[in-house]
Structure 1
Amino acid sequence: MKTEHVMISVAIAAALATLPSLVLASSSSAALAGINTAEAPRVTQTVDNRVVSALSNTHLSLLDKVTPTSAVADATPMNHMQLVLQRSALRTTALNQLIATQHDPSSSKFHQWVTPAEFGKAFGVSDADISAVTAWLTSQGFKVNGVLPNRTQIDFSGTAGQVRQAFHTQESHYVVNQKSHIANTGDISIPTALRSVVVGVAGLNDFRPQPLHQQPQIAQFNGASQRFKIQQSAKTASVSGGPKPMVNFEGGQRGFVPYDMQTIYNTAPLYVQGLTGKGITIALVEDQDMDVSDWPNFVSQFGLGGYGGTFTQFQPLLSPDTGNCTDPGGNNPDGESIETVLDSEYSTAMAPGASIWVATCSDTGSNNFFGGVFTAASNLINGASRPNIISASYGYGEGFTDAASKTAIDLMWAQADAEGISVFVSSGDSGSNPSFNGSIINGVPAIDANSFGSSANNTAVGGSDTADVLDGTSSKYFNTTLNAVYGSAKSYVPEITWNQSCGNTRAAKDLINASGLQFCKNALIYDPNGDYVTSESGSGGASSVVAKPSWQRVVRGAAKDQSRDLPDVSLFAGSYGGYSWVILCTGAYPCTANFASPVVLEGGTSLSSPMFAGIQALIDQGLSSAGGSVDQGNAAPTLYELARNEYGGTTGSAPSTLAACNANNGTKGTSKCVFYNITDGGNSTQCIELLSENEVTPDCYFYGTINNFEGFFGPVKVGLTSSNATKYNSTTAAYAAQAGWSFANGLGSVNATNLLSAWKSFNGL
């Protein structure tokens, strides 16, 4: 031990001797002019492995109630972990101030963006402190693969045994929700001398962000009815079977195509102006490839070939490459990812002239325990060639995220924002807790927020549903016969919150003229086995980690809390009863003329996010064409300012446009609206508690018990997500839609043409 201590001291001394004692973050960048983040090294003591400190919240607290099945063997490789570094208070404040001015049209730094190298030099950790940390990692036997340009991440590899020895925590096997996982059993400890510059290690567990789409369905078109009949669930689905629909549509299901989404959200007039996304790059970050023949098939089938869009699928590498991104495979009909197909096709649907980058990194090929989606995004943001826009249709709750991983996510999106990249993240597909896509909320608090999307530097996109089916007004908004590109939408269609459970208050009102709670109680009488129980719905919730950004406080309806709240906006994601979907062209089920062969139907907030990314590409091109910046950074600050003009602020009387722009109005009086305020429905969904396992599910109002619930042993309590477990009404339901901003839909959906006009005005163009 003494010998090791001496060796570490010598290594650090040698590293520090080659660096100046004071690091000045200066740059020729206009964004950084006048910003001085000079600071002395914070590692000032000799690193002694005998003097250690624990780093709080560096293991998953939800595992404290789970008994590990066995220890991970010491020889198990743990590659490309990320040592997450803590920037100083000085540099954190300076970064936040810079980002605020980058979004302020009155500032000289408005839209003055930085490069990864400039970001790292000004806002990362000093060279001296990085050298001290890397020297210690090397002394523990780890291989340091590289320091990212942002200087807040060190990529390193080793074994489970080295992790145990260096960080004083055991890697163990767990089973959670019937799935096997690896995680550290307790918080990590590091030498006290390094504590001020180390947040923790991302990659000690394999709870990765999951795709946020519905289970794909294979369907055959019926020319006579102009509808699709679902034949079976697609084999490529990455979520479980899901519930049976509470209602049956005898005429079949409706399949939306690009034309429909373009019509509903009014992007089509922009194409006439030459605004198609040309010159804008949208990067879709994924953990599995798609069949590259899908995209041109989709473009051809739906008449998008004349807009000049391009498609590239690749593995984003850092220069010099750390080797952290390997090809996940799947570029074939049988192995491709439905998630990747959905993202690429429907970003193109909205921005048919944009350049689409499908950036994929493997979750397991390099034993990267943190996950390929994060790796792909991080490598793009730190790379030499960066996109204008990123869409990430993945997520999981903050309750499933350790402190180091959450910090790494938020640092990544802050860097993207400072570089001018607009990031969109799906809010989730399981109501008030996004961790249960394809399953039912249980065993953890029923209220949570998507950890991947609850940064203050990204825009979270929730899910809506068209109201015409429940209203019986489909003929008003849709033609009965498909046009030449298979579309049928006539105009904007009134929207409600996407919610497939009996907690859907709009469905309850329209179908039985009762409350959502009564609807659920009735369903339990007619459905004693719980076949219809589901948590599928657009997600929303308050972050328990990230503070409320100032721009989210300005609009009517904003929650009176101190938390970053989700979502920010919503677009179509699915429909009650599974009636409406979008059509995908996949390798196994390619699109053919007149849908002569089966197609895949899809939905989820994994649809909403790439569609909004496509709309942003149109905005970017329009602003650039008017003489503005081609990059906008995080869209949310501008969206909230524009919404304040339409909905009003948090005080004073409501403007007339608040009522005029209600989504329920449809096309009546909404032609000048930027936002369609979705005020009907909510995303309170079902949640359960397993009595046989003495399970506790907080934030769940229980209304009954199921004795023979499929897949579960013993009786199960069933309820609805609620902020009050003893009372359920429109105030406590998690969550009800409302005028202005809401946890159910954020600011609502958008009219893309009007959005561009308002954005131009905001930017002074």
Structure 2
Amino acid sequence: MNNIQLMLRASIAAALIGVSAHSLANTASDTAFVGISTTEAPRITQTVDNDHVVTIPKTHLAIVDLASSSSPLDGSVAMSHMQLVLKPSAARQAAMEALITKQHDPKSVQFDHWLTPQQFGDSFGVVDGDVAAVTAWLASQGFTVNSVYPNKAQIDFSGTVAQVNHAFHTQENIYTIDNVKHLANAGDISVPVALQSVIAGVMGLHDSQPRPLVKKPQIAQWDASKKAFVPKVDATATTAPKGIGQAISAHGVRGLVPNDMATMYGINTIRNNGVTGKGITIAVVEEYPMVATDWTNFVNEFNLAKYGGTFQQFNPAPPSGVTNCLDPDVVLAPFKGTPFYNPDFLETVLDAEWATAIAPGANIEVAVCSSYTAGLGATSTNFFGGTFIAATNLINGSTRPDVISASYGFGEHAVDSASKTAIDLMWAQADAEGISVFVSSGDSGTNPSYNGSVINGLRSPTDLSALDANAFASSPHDTGVGGTDLADVLDGTTSQYFAPTPSVVGGSALSYVPEIPWNESCGNGVAAKAAGYSSVLAFCQVYLKHDPDGFYATSEAGSGGPSSTDAKPAWQRQVYNAARDQSRDLPDVALFAASYGGYTWVIVCTNAFPCAPGFTTQMELVGGTSLSSPMFAGIQALMDQGLQARGLPVDQGNAAPTLYALAAQEYGGSSGLTPSSLAACNADNGAKGTAGCVFHNVTRGSNSTQCVSLFNFLQVTNCYNYGSVNYLGLFTNATIGLTSADTSPTSYGAGNKAYGAQPGWSFTSGLGSVNATNLLIAWRAFDDASPAPTSTP
């Protein structure tokens, strides 16, 4: 019997008290990098010649090639707070990875010994001589150097369009794409050959932005007679064809409250023992603000204020130099009274409130930086705009959070190389500092670039694959969080898992509820079976018959897939059914996100629709993997406090290595015999069957969704076409299909759909969801295996 099973046999009450035999230091002040050398000479050894340049590939966005028109941007236009991305040497990159591996190894003396931003920069950033050479070159080109970050991996600088065009041998243009004007560089940038070894590129040469991974909300009114929420009907909306969204009925929809999640995910036991996230700081990184009283309304309405959590919304400044984090309220003030002005961004509200829902004792920080500059349109910072700036400023600051949640995303194929390099370095730095980072995997099935729409190839016209991974989540140094759906509605088992009359504060969930992958398309095999169809293809043909214009075609589903840029970390190989590829794969774990047919949502309290006692007013219901990520950040806050209570280090760095190590004990490894707990921990076993499990293994369904090819020259690959469609009445020669693992599929089924759930790990839901109480017990056992500290590491 393995250690986890032994621990789970112990009394939960006993497991939640006591002190560890030893306590490890949580700083790097007394840590030596045993066996790791990071000393190196400067790599810039030639004289910088501005006429002798080299092009950096993939530093412009291919989507500009689809622009209907373009015009040069005036040379006098200011471009503020661009980020010059520096790349460490291969030796320092390898040393960084080696140290982080040791920081996560309970048998290493480096275990849980975290760095400061300065230590990270001195050891793994670009050496001072090279930084000086690059900053001198920027100044010689007329730029203003605002600050060099402590990580020595990015330089914040400002200038004009003319200076950018000249220094980087490109052309900044205004493009019209889908009737919207965008700023972007026309081609890849070039830099002097002497600098190429240390410059990865520039963030901020275009204004393309990721989408928040949140579903369009539902406004609904509680109906006591129906014991459900009745959605507000949009009089302008087209009536849905028969058979679509059949899960919604005259009985209304379900709105989950915080106590529902606490019940479903095994949080109540440790909460009753005082584990509420108290003393742990969770930062949600955002680009638009919320009204602070929303959070107060939420905690008061759902009886969470008693746990003592705090809320703060602020604009994190860079460590030094001119601020690059603008307050959205100030920037957008001139637009008050117009539709453009929104002081209460739904994404931000969802993140802050539902991190608190899981960890009501935690300190919530809404770190928000504007991605808009008046007069120019969207920001000139980088692809991930204010979200990236907020995160990097936090990670490089003197006071850093314990946990970060980010709910934004876009596919790797549609992100420039400089932005991807900077994102991966940022999350690696967070990991080395002990910060646990959680990122939503995406809301559009196998390609996260199409949130709220259908995969059609337009986001990345040079790579038309229906398969992609969220660039913001695919670093091996964050934990990607996917989305699940509750299976009770499609299974017809609701009475087993939910009380007939919900409590306003307590909710209605009775226990853990079996989960399936969140998938709102006709590719949902569980829905097809529930509707009486023999296959999803037959189900989709019925959709097409009733919806010949593809108006209700969708790719909304929890995202997952292999990275095309990041290699698979060793810890991801160690669990049963891990993908046999060389790629970093998403997601790692999953929690409830949304439901087929739009039946189940969560409640948020917003400025426009505040929560009232007894739900006497209209409420706002929301979903998406933007919900899943902050909830798992809340679970991590519980882990951190629970570990600290036993004298173990409070910060854990990236959670994924530990999660996979624990899952390997429960599901089995990549080879050898599988333990009986693999079958026992199947999510379909429900509450009683999985009571002793750390993970709920999601094994039914898929995140294979619909995909559309719009033109003869824009044929989406990895899409099995099952019919023709007059898409939205605009594209008469379009075809519609389902996403497939095959590049050019000639059939569709269990063997090639992208992707199917399976025992162990899967692209649909990673390791599955968790029981927080059992996870804490197992995590303590894992961390307690570490060696006692010595005076000389």
- For the aligned pair, the TM-score class normalised by the smaller chain equals over 0.9
Q: 1:561 to 1:176 in 2, by over 3 A?
A: farther
TM-aligned CA deviation for residue 519 of structure 1:
0.8
Superposed CA deviations along residues 30-64 of structure 1, whole A, max 9, x for unmatched, are 15466431111111111011111111222224544
Given residue 200 of structure 1, which amino acid in structure 2 is its aligned partner? Answer: G
| Alignment root-mean-square deviation, CA | 2.0
Superposed CA deviations along residues 488-526 of structure 1, whole A, max 9, x for unmatched, are 000000000000000001101111232112211121112
1:182 paired with 2:183, answer yes
1:368 paired with 2:353, answer no
Q: 1:28 to 1:271 in 2, by over 3 A?
A: closer
Q: Distance in 1 between matches of 2:611 and 2:564?
A: 44
TM-aligned CA deviation for residue 66 of structure 1:
4.9
Counterpart in the other structure of 2:7: none
Q: Secondary structure at the match of 2:735?
A: strand
Please list, as runs of the form range in 1=range in 2, the aligned pairs for 1:399-418 lying within 5 A after superposition. Answer: 399-418=413-432
1:478 paired with 2:498, answer yes
Counterpart in the other structure of 2:393: 379
Q: Secondary structure at the match of 1:290?
A: coil
Superposed CA deviations along residues 70-108 of structure 1, whole A, max 9, x for unmatched, are 222222221111111111122111110110000000000
Counterpart in the other structure of 2:356: 348
Q: Distance in 1 between matches of 2:46 and 2:471?
A: 35
Counterpart in the other structure of 1:281: 281
Q: Secondary structure at the match of 1:640?
A: helix
Q: Distance in 2 between matches of 1:107 and 1:699?
A: 43
**Equivalent residue in structure 2 for 1:704, among 723, 738, 749:** 723
Counterpart in the other structure of 1:5: none
**Equivalent residue in structure 1 for 2:707, among 675, 687, 693:** 687
Superposed CA deviations along residues 290-342 of structure 1, whole A, max 9, x for unmatched, are 01110010001011011000000000012324311001128999531000000
1:211 paired with 2:223, answer no
Given residue 387 of structure 1, which amino acid in structure 2 is its aligned partner? Answer: P
Q: Secondary structure at the match of 1:368?
A: coil
TM-aligned CA deviation for residue 530 of structure 1:
2.0
Q: Distance in 2 between matches of 1:729 and 1:752?
A: 35
Counterpart in the other structure of 2:365: 357
Q: Distance in 2 between matches of 1:193 and 1:29?
A: 38
Q: Distance in 1 between matches of 2:412 and 2:201?
A: 16
Q: Distance in 2 between matches of 1:79 and 1:668?
A: 57
Given residue 617 of structure 2, which amino acid in structure 1 is its aligned partner? Answer: S
Superposed CA deviations along residues 395-451 of structure 1, whole A, max 9, x for unmatched, are 000011111110000000000000000000000000000010011111232100000
Q: Distance in 1 between matches of 2:658 and 2:770?
A: 13
Q: Secondary structure at the match of 1:633?
A: coil
Superposed CA deviations along residues 153-201 of structure 1, whole A, max 9, x for unmatched, are 0001112221111101112233445543322121111111111111111
Contact 1:212/1:393 (<8 A) preserved: yes
Q: Distance in 2 between matches of 1:418 and 1:67?
A: 45
Q: Distance in 1 between matches of 2:593 and 2:240?
A: 17
Contact 1:53/1:190 (<8 A) preserved: yes
Q: Distance in 2 between matches of 1:325 and 1:591?
A: 31
Q: Distance in 1 between matches of 2:412 and 2:167?
A: 26
Given residue 728 of structure 2, which amino acid in structure 1 is its aligned partner? Answer: E
Contact 2:281/2:403 (<8 A) preserved: yes
Contact 2:482/2:588 (<8 A) preserved: yes
Please list, as runs of the form range in 1=range in 2, the aligned pairs for 1:569-718 lying within 5 A after superposition. Answer: 569-691=589-711, 694-707=713-726, 709-710=727-728, 712-718=730-736
Counterpart in the other structure of 1:222: 223
Counterpart in the other structure of 1:759: 779
- Equivalent residues, number: 733
Structure 2 gap ranges (5+) = 1-27, 458-463, 786-793
Q: Which moved more, 1:174-183 or 1:97-106?
A: 174-183
Counterpart in the other structure of 1:723: 741
Q: Which has the higher relative contact order, 1 or 2, with Cα contacts under 8 A spaced 6 or more apart? A: 2
Contact 2:149/2:319 (<8 A) preserved: no
Counterpart in the other structure of 2:245: 246
Contact 2:705/2:739 (<8 A) preserved: yes
Given residue 128 of structure 2, which amino acid in structure 1 is its aligned partner? Answer: D
Counterpart in the other structure of 1:442: 456
Contact 2:319/2:396 (<8 A) preserved: no
Q: Distance in 1 between matches of 2:756 and 2:275?
A: 36
Given residue 355 of structure 1, which amino acid in structure 2 is its aligned partner? Answer: N
Superposed CA deviations along residues 218-254 of structure 1, whole A, max 9, x for unmatched, are 110001111111115799xxxx999885323210010
Q: Which moved more, 1:327-336 or 1:620-629?
A: 327-336
Superposed CA deviations along residues 672-691 of structure 1, whole A, max 9, x for unmatched, are 10000000100001111113
Contact 2:68/2:177 (<8 A) preserved: no
Q: Distance in 1 between matches of 2:730 and 2:209?
A: 24
Counterpart in the other structure of 2:19: none
1:550 paired with 2:570, answer yes
Structure 1 gap ranges (5+) = 1-26
Q: Distance in 2 between matches of 1:482 and 1:398?
A: 42
Q: 1:427 to 1:588 in 2, by over 3 A?
A: same
Superposed CA deviations along residues 122-159 of structure 1, whole A, max 9, x for unmatched, are 11111110111011111111111110010000001112
Q: Secondary structure at the match of 1:745?
A: coil
Q: 1:558 to 1:33 in 2, by over 3 A?
A: closer
Given residue 95 of structure 1, which amino acid in structure 2 is its aligned partner? Answer: M
Contact 1:246/1:532 (<8 A) preserved: no
1:394 paired with 2:408, answer yes
Q: Distance in 1 between matches of 2:235 and 2:105?
A: 47
Q: Distance in 2 between matches of 1:242 and 1:123?
A: 58
Counterpart in the other structure of 1:12: none
Please list, as runs of the form range in 1=range in 2, the aligned pairs for 1:136-147 lying within 5 A after superposition. Answer: 136-147=137-148
Q: Distance in 2 between matches of 1:90 and 1:511?
A: 57
Q: 1:56 to 1:316 in 2, by over 3 A?
A: same
Q: Secondary structure at the match of 1:229?
A: strand
Given residue 637 of structure 1, which amino acid in structure 2 is its aligned partner? Answer: P
Please list, as runs of the form range in 1=range in 2, the aligned pairs for 1:53-132 lying within 5 A after superposition. Answer: 53-64=54-65, 66=67, 68-132=69-133
TM-aligned CA deviation for residue 699 of structure 1:
1.4
TM-aligned CA deviation for residue 266 of structure 1:
0.9
Given residue 317 of structure 1, which amino acid in structure 2 is its aligned partner? Answer: A
Counterpart in the other structure of 1:13: none
Please list, as runs of the form range in 1=range in 2, the aligned pairs for 1:259-298 lying within 5 A after superposition. Answer: 259-298=259-298
Contact 1:216/1:234 (<8 A) preserved: no
Superposed CA deviations along residues 622-676 of structure 1, whole A, max 9, x for unmatched, are 0010111000000000000000001101112221111110001102321110000
Contact 1:242/1:439 (<8 A) preserved: no
Contact 1:344/1:358 (<8 A) preserved: yes
Q: 1:611 to 1:241 in 2, by over 3 A?
A: farther
Contact 2:586/2:763 (<8 A) preserved: yes
TM-aligned CA deviation for residue 217 of structure 1:
1.2
Q: What percentage of residue pairs aligned between the two structures are identical?
A: 57
Contact 2:504/2:615 (<8 A) preserved: no
Q: Secondary structure at the match of 2:545?
A: helix
Counterpart in the other structure of 1:258: 258
Given residue 246 of structure 1, which amino acid in structure 2 is its aligned partner? Answer: G
Q: Secondary structure at the match of 1:512?
A: coil
